[in-house]
Amino acid sequence: MKLGFIGLGIMGSPMAQHLLAAGHQMFVRTRSKVPEALNVATQCATNADVARAADIIFLMLPDTPDVGDVLFGENGLASGLSKGKLVIDMSSISPLETKRFAAKINALGSDYLDAPVSGGEVGAKTASLTIMVGGSEAAFERAKPLFEKLGKNITLVGSNGDGQTTKVANQIIVALNIAAVSEALVFASKAGADPAKVRQALMGGFAASRILEVHGERMIKRTFAPGFRIRLHQKDLGLALQGARELGVSLPQTASAAQLMQACAANGLADLDHSAVVRALELMASHEVAKV
């Protein structure tokens, strides 16, 4: 297939490499230097040029305004699209704006899928991402062989916007779990217990979780190099709270987790892994979970 890819960052670059390795022709556009592994791809001067050259175009961008600009800004994708093309946005952005973007793209005769992912940089590199898709079944079936080069758990959730809604729900659950594990380990450590042994004991009970397993270990070993940055999780929780206001829903625990991330950002920690949310609680307790 002739594929386009816009947004070759930490996530987008390995994803594009998997598609290229599968034998597809690739047309790319990025604000930064094209990674060496993608030098065989055709570099396009504008986003519109990517749309003209490719039949299916992937986006992997930081935030809602970035997607809006790539789609509808000067020399945007929309100006280069024609009937029968497919735009797949794998960014994590506003579900409500996604519905509006999709309607505009559909009006041009092109299909649109929102397909945000979970699994972080490791999942992107190992092609083991969870992919949550919103859009028509026909567009999903067309894209599914490509999604299978990127991930393992691939689900058509519903119509446009539902993929993004699912991703926001995912980020709420992950954030609250990180906050819960953080509070538990700060409490246990401050009380004088060995946090590593506490974590080991909890892994065998009802409190066991992927967050306790992976991020609990990060908190104890103090390994906060970013897999998924606090600033990006902040953005996602902002989407949750914005959506909650528009829908008339109360998300008190999400708001609390967002404040912990804000405390981290205020202390210069926004570019650490989101497991470093524990640092906000440690600062309040004047006590670190562990010393390395």
What was the pLDDT predicted at 140?
Answer: 98
C-alpha 219: how far from its chain's center?
Answer: 22
Structure tokens at 12: 């987008």
> pLDDT (tens digit, 9 = 90+) per residue, 18-32?
999 999 999 998 777
Catalytic residue among 104, 167, 221, 235: 167
Q: Is 200 exposed, middle or buried (0-12, 13-18, 19+ CB in 10 A)?
A: exposed
What was the pLDDT predicted at 85?
Answer: 98
- Are 114 and 133 in contact, with CB atoms under 8 Å apart? yes
154 Cβ neighbours under 8 A, 6+ residues apart:
130, 131, 133, 144, 147, 148
What was the pLDDT predicted at 33?
Answer: 75
* Residue 273 phi, psi dihedral angles, 5° rounding: -60, 150
What was the pLDDT predicted at 81?
Answer: 97
Q: Count the neighbouring beta carbons within 10 Å of the beta carbon of residue 21.
A: 11
Structure tokens at 178: 């990180």
Kindly report the pTM of this predicted structure: 0.90
210 Cβ neighbours under 8 A, 6+ residues apart:
none
Mean of the per-residue pLDDT values for the chain?
A: 95
What was the pLDDT predicted at 228?
Answer: 87
- Known active-site residue 190: no
pLDDT tens track, the chain, 292 positions:
999 999 998 899 999 999 999 999 999 987 777 888 888 899 999 999 999 999 999 999 999 999 999 999 999 999 999 999 999 999 999 999 999 999 999 999 999 999 999 988 889 999 999 999 999 999 999 999 999 999 999 999 999 999 999 999 999 999 999 999 999 999 999 999 999 999 999 999 999 999 999 999 999 999 999 888 999 999 999 999 999 999 999 999 999 999 999 999 999 999 999 999 999 999 999 999 998 8
